Structure 1
Amino acid sequence: MRERRSPQKSRLRGKADTDGKRVTLPRALSKLGYCSRTQAERLIADGRVTVDGRKVIDLSAWVDMDAARIKVDGKDVVAEAKIYLMLNKPRGLVTTRDDPEGRPTVYDCLKDFDIPHLSPVGRLDKASEGLLLFTNDTTFAQALLDPLTHLTKTYHVQVDRIMDDELLAEMTYGVRHDGEVLKATSAKLLRSGDKNSWIEVELDEGRNRQIRRILEGLDTECLRLVRVAIGGLGLGDLAKGAVRPLTEAELKDLRRGAGLEKTRRN
């Protein structure tokens, strides 16, 4: 006779459900907004996490997020309210919470939002500026970053030369840099001065320093790089260094663009 598992064990073992409610314990702590998965793994390994009153140190244990009662250090872990913020990142800030070199970070702009476990969605390097999203909704963040969604990011870029049609076309055809072929979804001229140009570049993937590397492959220097839109969400008139919550309409549009909401048909 096959041995039946106890209800408690059945909540700790098995495969993930298609609706994402049955996940590994580290993932559950992350999805609840309690901490990152790496931090969760440390808590579990240290024996500080219980599920339904039983200590769990198995990092691969599965839990049902709708049924399991998870505690850390004897205190219930409950889902935090979901927060979605946009920042107009100034140039010179690094996209990290704590910088070992002591440089100013994007979190210096979030002092009025004392929200634990709030993380940036992707990154902008120190020299880049513009639209940067923050959230404690890990599912939302991962959907926006998933290359399969092809969510477009739009940048305004100042370069040290007059960009002609041939150079702009090369950006979309593909440029080899450090063994990789990199390309933009689109590139067009915005305006030109005597010695430099502003161009608009769209990407539907997020490789490290992608635009700068494309321009380097064309012997062109990037003087400024400003992200002005993610999907249909534009930077608008948000002041440099300012932060504001997303509106319900903006959030819904981003969720739809990331495939988290289906478009209704009439």
Structure 2
Amino acid sequence: MSHPEKPGSSRPRRPAASPAQRRPARPVPPARPATPKSAPDPDAPPREGERIAKLLARAGIASRRDVERIIAEGRISLNGEVVTTPATVLKNLRGVTVDGKPVAPAAPARLFRFHKPEGLITAERDPAGRPTIYNALVNALPKGCPRMMPVGRLDLGTEGLLLLTNDGELKRALELPATGIPRTYRARTFGDISQAKLEELSEGIEIEGVRYGSIDANMERRTGRNQWVEMTLTEGKNREVRRVLEHLGLQVSRLIRVAYGPFLLADLPRGAADEVRQVDVEKFRKSLKI
């Protein structure tokens, strides 16, 4: 292929080759069928056990992503040898230590409902010194309860249902947008809005470059320019409900999460927690196929 001459170049341009002078094109070999990289080797023995990252997440040490980070930091060992990859396959956690401390066998997955009050941070600690959910959970959870991790977050000004679990894998599955678990909120708002305008949210909406998926929104009751709006969504992006309602010109004075999947806030008192029956946890877990 000839290239255009640079401006000011005195280099003569080669004449184009005649068809007789051109080399015949090499025959193209037939394409081989692609083999998927993830295809299992049929002759390989079946894998026994699970990846260490998954086992540690299930044991409640941390989420799988955090376990991978901890492994990268060299803080996890197996029989005295530092584990270097989260793909290490084990049958159990015998001989595994984190920061030099033995890891207890994975306990059955437990799930609690917690009615988070307004004014608490969904975090273990806050640099600004504000109270966190763990300040309330000291008295809300039963004595001897294992370390519980919040499923998702509720911001400082939002109250309502917050799920807690000791199982990192269950936590991850509950949080992933791909699982499509619906979250339902009730918002007390002030301003002018119609049901027809709320129904437009079923097509999704873009706000300041952020795309929010389909939202099922319904007017519950209205008194003048004050109304309660119920919204069900599956993504749960940061401050999604508030951002969408404020974009519609509404002021939000109270926001309550009333449901997360099949789990309801119902009449659970504010600041209280109760445990979901083990049979219901396992039934729900199987429905997620995790």
TM (normalized to structure 2)?
0.73
Gaps of 5+ in 1: 1-13, 261-266
CA distance in 2, matches of 1:154, 1:91: 17
Whether the 8 Å contact between 2:109 and 2:281 is mirrored in structure 1 is no
Q: Displacement, 1:236?
A: 0.9
Alignment CA distance shift 1:67-1:151 (3 Å): closer
Match of 1:7 in 2: none
Q: Distance in 2 between matches of 1:98 and 1:39?
A: 20
Percent identical pairs in the alignment equals: 31
User: Counterpart of 1:8?
Assistant: none
Q: Which residue of 2 aligns with 1:105?
A: 132
Q: Give the distance between the partners of 2:259 and 2:242, measured in 1 at CA.
A: 18
Deviations 1:18-64 (A, max 9, x none): x9x421x4443332223455467547745x6432x341241445031
Equivalent residue, structure 1, for 2:160: 130
Q: What secondary structure sits across from 2:109 in the alignment? A: coil
**Matched residue SS, 2:211:** strand
Q: What amino acid does structure 2 have at the position aligned with 1:66?
A: N
| Residues 216, 232 of structure 2: 8 Å contact kept | yes
Residue 141 of structure 2 corresponds to residue 140 of structure 1: no
Amino acid at match of 1:143: A
Q: CA contact under 8 A between 1:172 and 1:186: conserved in structure 2? A: yes
Larger radius of gyration: 2
Which of 146, 159, 184 is the matching residue for 2:189?
159
Change in CA separation of 1:40 and 1:29 when aligned onto 2, cut-off 3 Å: farther
- Does residue 30 (structure 1) correspond to residue 60 (structure 2)? The answer is no
Whether the aligned pair in 1 keeps the contact of 2:112 and 2:163 (CA below 8 Å) is: yes
- Which of residues 75, 78, 97 in structure 1 aligns to 2:102? 75
Q: Report the Cα distance in structure 2 between the residues aligned to 1:241 and 1:41, rounded to whole angstroms.
A: 33
Counterpart CA distance in 2 for 1:42 and 1:173 is: 41
Q: Separation in 2 of the partners of 1:26 and 1:225?
A: 36
Give matches, 1:1-266, under 5 Å. 21-23=49-51, 25-35=52-62, 38=66, 41-42=69-70, 45-46=73-74, 49-51=76-78, 53-60=79-86, 62-66=88-92, 69-72=95-98, 73=100, 75=102, 77-112=104-139, 113=141, 115-248=145-278, 250-252=280-282, 254-256=284-286, 258-260=288-290
Q: Select between 179-188 and 239-248 the one with higher mean Cα deviation.
A: 179-188
Q: How many residues align?
A: 241
User: For residues 226-266 of structure 1, what are the alpha-carbon distances to aligned partners after superposition, in whole Å with 9 as ceiling and x for unaligned?
Assistant: 11111222111100111111124542453355345xxxxxx
Contact 2:96 2:103 in 1 (8 A): yes
Query: Structure 2: how far apart are the matches of 1:91 and 1:142?
Result: 24
**Alpha-carbon separation, structure 1, partners of 2:288 and 2:173:** 6
Tell which deviates more after alignment, 144-153 or 25-34.
Answer: 25-34
What SS does structure 2 have at the residue aligned with 1:132?
strand
Instruction: Go from structure 1 to structure 2 and tell me whether the alpha carbon gap of 1:248 and 1:32 turns closer, same or farther (over 3 Å shift).
Output: closer
The answer on whether the counterparts of 2:110 and 2:281 sit within 8 Å (CA) in structure 1 is: no
The answer on whether the counterparts of 2:71 and 2:86 sit within 8 Å (CA) in structure 1 is no
Q: 1:237 to 1:124 in 2, by over 3 A?
A: same
Describe the superposition over 1:200-234 as per-residue Cα deviations: whole angstroms up to 9, x where unpaired.
11001111111111112212222211111112221
3-state SS of paired residue (2:152): coil
CA gap 1:254/1:130 in 2 versus in 1, 3 angstroms = farther
- CA RMSD across the alignment: 2.8
Between the aligned partners of 1:210 and 1:45, the Cα distance in structure 2 is 34
Q: CA deviation at 1:146?
A: 1.7
Measure, in 2, the Cα distance between the counterparts of 1:156 and 1:128.
Answer: 10
